[in-house]
Amino acid sequence: HSPAPVRSTGLTVNSPEQMRELGRRIAEVLRPGDLVMLTGELGAGKTTLTRGLGEGLNVRGAVTSPTFVIARVHPPLGDGPPLVHVDAYRLGGGLDEMEDLDLDVSLPDSVIVVEWGEGKVEELSDDRLHVVIDRATGDTDDDVRQVALTGIGERWTAADLTALAV
Ligand code: ADP
Ligand code: MG
């Protein structure tokens, strides 16, 4: 069993508006069944990026920080996939618990975006797009973010992640 292929690129995002634009661009390459994992400290911009994903996927409902719910389903307004936005911070048991949530949606037909999912949701899919967001400096007032995009698995071998740069 050979290790999954990995493709990576790094880019700089200078503002919340650009982070949303990055989300819209990522949405253009997403397909039903895709898993996107978002990593970054509180305030890094994970939910801001997800807002852009929601805009790009044209789904219903405002994307907000899912802190007080584990998952929120955003149904499509058109004929695209639903967006399932998960805050795995409170998902102690990982995938089993997620299936127990009994979401009224088919996960293989959805785009699933997970904040804080590392070590918990990898088994949802052999393939995933991992987005790591870091503040560029130690200054919390600084709007500049470094974003590392890593496509893991066959799904992403042909993807041109560098074309997503805002
Ligand atoms: P997280 O979900 O990672 O906790 P949020 O997206 O909820 O983060 O919040 C990010 C905060 O940082 C927002 O208030 C946003 O306006 C601000 N911000 C400043 N610069 C950026 C940037 N380049 N990208 C994303 N958010 C930024
Ligand atoms: Mg958040």
Q: Ligand 1: list residues with CB < 6 Å.
A: 13, 15-16, 19, 40, 42-48, 65, 143, 145
CA 118 remoteness from chain centre: 12
The pLDDT assigned to 117 comes to 83
Q: How far is the CA of 155 from the centre of ligand 1 (A)?
A: 28
Whose CA is closest to 151, among 134, 136, 132?
132
Report how far ligand 1's centroid is from the alpha carbon of 64 (Å): 12
pLDDT band (50, 70, 90) for residue 44: very high
Distance of CA 88 to the CA centre of its chain: 12
Inform me whether the pLDDT recorded for 61 exceeds 90: yes
pLDDT, residue 134, reads 97
Contact status, residue 36 vs residue 112, Cβ threshold 8 Å: yes
Under a CB-based contact definition with an 8 Å cutoff, are residues 147 and 12 in contact?
Answer: yes
The average pLDDT across 155-163 equals: 93
Domains located in the chain, CATH noted: 6-164 (3.40.50.300)
Mean pLDDT across 156-166: 93
Model confidence pLDDT, tens digit, residues 66-124: 666 788 999 999 999 999 998 887 777 666 677 677 788 888 899 999 988 888 888 77
Residues in contact with 120: Cβ distance below 8 Å, sequence separation at least 6, in sequence order: 88, 91, 94, 95, 114
pTM for the model stands at 0.93
